[in-house]
Every structure is written in C-alpha cells, then in structure tokens.
Amino acid sequence: MRFDDRLATALGQPADVPAARQAVWRQLVDLLAQSGTESSPLTEQAYDRLREWRYDISPIARQNAAMSLAGQSVAPDMVAFFAEDATAVYAPLLAGVELPGKVWRKLIPQMSPVARALLRHRRDLPNGALRALEAFGQADLVIEGPSTPSAESQREVAPELEAEIAPAYSGPDIRELRERIDAFREKQLHAELIEKTEFSFETGADGVIRWCDAAARGAIVGLSIADAVPGDAQGVDGQAAGAFRRRAPFRDGRLTVAEAGPSGGAWQLSGVPSFDPATGRFTGYRGTARRPRIGERAEQSGILGSTIAGDALRQLAHEVRTPLNAIGGFAEMIERQMLGPAPHPYRQRAAAILGETRRLESVLEDLNEAVQLDGGAARPAPEEVDCALLLARTAAALEPLGSAKGVSMALSIAPGCDPALIDAASLERIANRLLSASLGLARPDERISVELHGGEGETSIAIGRPALLANYDEAALFEATEIAGEDDATVPLLGLGFTLRMVRSVAERCGGRLVIEPGRFRVSLPAARRVPLEQPHEVRQPERRGPLA
C-alpha cells in the first residue's frame, strides 16, 4: 500500500466525535512524521487538518504524540508543526529528534527563543545546528519585562533611566528558571491526568494494550481488544474485536474494566489500525477511550434497547396473541374445509393468512424471549447437544424456503467435533434464526454455507453471509432494520439487527459468543470433552458436504 493511499484513507475517516477526531489526528501525525514524506497537495491538506484540530486534542495527547517521535528521524515539516505548539508539548520531541545540519539551519530561525534554549542543552546536535544557534547570540538569553525600553527608546531617554533596563540572565539563572517552570507544568499535567475522563492507548499486533496515559494505567495495560467478552465481563465488545480481526477502524466500542478505582467501569473505545511504514505490516491499534456521556450507555443496549420498551412489548404481545390465534384458527379451518367445501381461491387466501399468522406467532415468541434475555433470565441447564444432528435437522426444515428462492445450502461437518454444552432449545433457536435470516436475504442462485467446526474447547457454527450484506460492517448489521434489495416476504420480520442481537444474547447467556466475520456469522459455544475409550482408536468420520434442495 502506498503512503498516499494510507494518508487519503486517514483523511477520509469519520471524525464527528472528539474521540474519533483524536484517533485520526494521531494517525495523521504518524503518517506525516515519516522522514521520506514528500510535499504534495495531500500532505498539505493533512497538515491543514492537524492545525485545524490542534486544540480539539488534549495537551496530554499532543505531548504523547510528540514523545513517540523523539529519537527518530522525523520529517522536518512535522518538527516545525510541533514547534508551533506549547513548550510542554514540543519539548520531548526537540529533546531527541534527529535531523541533518542543513535542515536544522532552516528550522531554527523559525523557532521561538524558548525552543532554541531547549536545543542549546543538547550535546548531540550536528555542526550546522550549532552554528544556527550561535547566530542568535545572547539575544535569546535576555528576558525583558513589559516596561523594558526598546533599543530605539534607550537612545532617546535620560541616563538615569538605564537602571530600569532588565539585565541579561546568565546560563545558571536560565536553567533554574526552566526547572521551576518544568516542575510547575509537571504538577499541572499530573492533576489533569488524575481528573480527566479520557485516555489514549496503544496495542501490539496481538491486540493487547501495551501503553495508555490513564492515571491508574495498571488496570488497563494488559487488556486485549482482540476478543469479545460476554455481558459485563472485563474486556471489549464484539464491535472492537470484530474491527481488530478486519484491521479496520472502530468507534465507540464498549470497554469494561472490572477493577475498582479511577479506571474502573465502562468506557467508550475508538481506535485506528497502525502499520509499519517500511513493510506495511500490521503493528497494532492506537486510539482513545472516554467515559460515556450523560444518557449514553457504554454497555450493549440489549435486544430491545431498554427495560421500558421490553415492558411495553410484553403487554402488546399479550394483547395480540388472543386475536391472532383466533384468526389463525379460522383460516386453518377454511384452508382444510372443516366448515364445508370452499372455492380454491378462498383456500389459497386462507393458507396465506395462516402462514402470516404463524410468522407473527414466531415474532411474539421472539419478543417474549427478548424481554426475558434483557431482564437477565437465568441460564438454562446445559446439556450435551449433538450439533451435527441439530444442524442437519435445521437445514432440512428450512429447505423449502431455499428451494422457493432458488438458493442452495452447502452443509459441511468437520470430523471429531465435540458436543456443545448448551440447552437444545437455545441451540435450535440460534441455528434456526441465523440460517433463516441468511436464506431470506439470499438472491437466486446463491449458495449459503453451513459449517460445523471444533477445537480448543469450543464448537463453532458458521453460516455464510449473503451478498446483500457485503458492504455492512458489524455496527450496521446490529442496527439494520431494512436491507437494500431484500425480499419482504422472506426476510426476518423484525429486521436483521433484531435477529443478530437475539442470537448474540442467547449465545452469551449460554457461555458462547457471536462473531461477525467478513463472509459469515460464527457462533462459538463451549464444548463437552469426549471421554476416550479404554483402548482408544482413531475413527475417521467422513466430512459431509453437499447442497440441500
């Protein structure tokens, strides 16, 4: 990937909230800081963006960005950019940045006297930089008060006013003053760290947070964004973990820190991936975290969104069920001609009504299940369930739906899969809802894969995502109510987002998780270890493949 591609990608990232803006700002700094960067309209646009957002970024974050570049060979324009900032921000960079002498000769005249004073304390500057500093002589070492006469006025005033001219400070006095200023700034920065409700972080290529600037960083360093955790357990939600697998940016994912203290509790996490500029190798994520705003929940909002919505829907389902059963029963009697002979068009219409009432009954069951899940229903007693048998039965039951649409299914069972530790009803709901959603959104001649895998104490069911969902990221899928191009007669009645939230909640209640992958939905469940026979021998089960319908 070329540099300009990555720079254009960074400039195109959404930055409508402060956390996202800070993450993009940091990514632009990293890209522009590369010493081989050449000036172009794109780089000029990026520097304009950095200057535009400079004061939207906290001083701590700007200082940390400058500190990360210290000791490296940095693009001169980036050094000049930081030199425009506050002393506390650019000081770490000027203390260690490496530049050729001719570059220093160009930059030093543009710097403030304070910046040049910092450079004078370095002992590793090239001769070109030293000569540029000497050119300013003692002028940088004179501190004048507001009443100090200018050189012009000194020639015009009487000699008795000469005693009011501020004397030049010697080297030791300058050093003592700088030490006092640094101590004061350090105290201010420490107070800001303690009080602030946001922090920056960096991870390694494995997703483990290696560094952060939170006050109580010990509770955060070592956490991983690579794997989602269920419910309110310590770690991140599926949004951050899914983006990590795709090496994609993410915004406002959930992070829960279980430890007590200033870093404990809920955070909103945003991040962008980092890549080595020389090789393009993925090196981790950089981003920010903030406390949820008033009225905003960092944790997953559940299936229905709120307890109030759940109570209202429970009451609605109770009121609808009775007339719905009456309509369905009457339609079934007409369709079966239980009330006497009926013309064929009437029977067809009755059959259509009966089908719709059954769909609505399924919706009511889902709503009732959703209310229970959002209300923290207890986990059903787990049992050992043969996933291969259940998947085959589910695929066979949904075969008419696929056949009616011209969609085929490819069932693949890996050999030696352990049974899943889950109640059978929950597993059947997971498999039925995911597979019916994919079939309902599939187009004619599509092929939906249904796979079963096992290993490392887990049993995984993976169901292919139809082509209509190719451009939907994880956040969009969980919020989707309508999909462009969908067939209203076969899609999930409450929307794909509801179905996915339902499956996620059922899986998490049973100790599993739903993972959104680029080409498929995958549910991982705890597996029951098979006890080997006294005289174990290998039994190779053939892999079952082939379209159904």
Whichever domain contains 227, its CATH number is 3.30.450
Closest CA to 42 of 10, 4, 74: 4
**Strand-pair category, 383-385 with 420-422:** antiparallel
Within this chain, do residues 489 and 447 fall inside the same structural domain, yes or no?
A: yes
Residues across the chain? 549
Within this chain, do residues 265 and 367 fall inside the same structural domain, yes or no?
A: no
Closest CA to 375 of 304, 296, 472, 277: 304
pLDDT for the residue numbered 262:
72
Residue 91 lies in a domain: no
Q: Are 391 and 430 in contact (CB under 8 A)?
A: no
Residue 46 lies in a domain: no
Within this chain, do residues 391 and 538 fall inside the same structural domain, yes or no?
A: yes
**Strand-pair category, 520-526 with 547-548:** unpaired
Residue 90 lies in a domain: no
Within this chain, do residues 287 and 365 fall inside the same structural domain, yes or no?
A: no
Residue at which a domain ends, from 278, 299, 320: 299
pLDDT for the residue numbered 417:
85
Give the Å distances, CA to CA, from 11 to 27, 48, 204, 363: 9, 11, 23, 43
pLDDT for the residue numbered 378:
63
Residue 357 lies in a domain: yes
Residue 485 lies in a domain: yes
Report d(CA 489, CA 355) in Å as an integer. Answer: 11
Within this chain, do residues 490 and 461 fall inside the same structural domain, yes or no?
A: yes
Report d(CA 34, CA 55) in Å as an integer. Answer: 23
Q: Maximum CA pair distance of the chain?
A: 126
Residue 168 lies in a domain: no
**Burial (CB count within 10 angstroms: exposed 0-12, middle 13-18, buried 19+), residue 217:** middle
Range of the domain at 362: 307-374
Within this chain, do residues 480 and 419 fall inside the same structural domain, yes or no?
A: yes
Q: Where are the alpha helices (DSSP H) in 33-159?
A: 41-53, 59-69, 76-83, 87-94, 101-107, 113-120, 127-134, 151-154
Within this chain, do residues 335 and 411 fall inside the same structural domain, yes or no?
A: no
Residue at which a domain ends, from 374, 404, 429: 374
pLDDT for the residue numbered 311:
56
Strand, helix or coil for residue 491? coil
Residue at which a domain ends, from 267, 299, 331: 299
pLDDT for the residue numbered 229:
76
**What token pair was written down for 149?**
């006469």
Buried b vs exposed e over 68-79: b needs ≥16 C-beta within 10 Å?
bbeeeebbbebb
Q: Into how many domains does the chain fold?
A: 3
Within this chain, do residues 369 and 458 fall inside the same structural domain, yes or no?
A: no
Residue 144 lies in a domain: no
Q: Are 216 and 263 in contact (CB under 8 A)?
A: yes
**What are the residues whose beta carbons fall under 8 Å from the beta carbon of 192, sequence distance 6 or more?**
58, 59, 60
Closest CA to 64 of 288, 277, 254: 288
Within this chain, do residues 404 and 499 fall inside the same structural domain, yes or no?
A: yes
Residue 52 lies in a domain: no
**Burial (CB count within 10 angstroms: exposed 0-12, middle 13-18, buried 19+), residue 479:** middle
Query: Mean pLDDT of residues grouped by 10 in the chain (549 residues)?
Result: 65 79 87 76 90 86 83 86 86 85 89 83 85 74 41 34 37 51 54 61 93 82 85 76 83 81 81 87 91 52 52 66 82 86 88 84 77 67 88 90 90 88 90 91 92 86 92 82 67 78 87 89 84 45 44
Buried b vs exposed e over 168-184: b needs ≥16 C-beta within 10 Å?
eeeeeebeeebeeeeee
Within this chain, do residues 361 and 449 fall inside the same structural domain, yes or no?
A: no
Q: Output phi, psi for 106, to 5 deg.
A: -80, -35
Give the Å distances, CA to CA, from 164 to 138, 147, 150, 429: 19, 8, 12, 88
Within this chain, do residues 315 and 420 fall inside the same structural domain, yes or no?
A: no
Tell me the three-class secondary structure of 86-117, residue by residue: CHHHHHHHHCCCECCHHHHHHHHHHCCHHHHH
Which residues is 524 bridged to in the sheet?
A: 460, 513
Within this chain, do residues 367 and 484 fall inside the same structural domain, yes or no?
A: no
**What are the residues whose beta carbons fall under 8 Å from the beta carbon of 3, sequence distance 6 or more?**
31, 34, 37, 277
Report d(CA 282, CA 183) in Å as an integer. Answer: 38
**Domain containing 533 — which CATH number?**
3.30.565.10
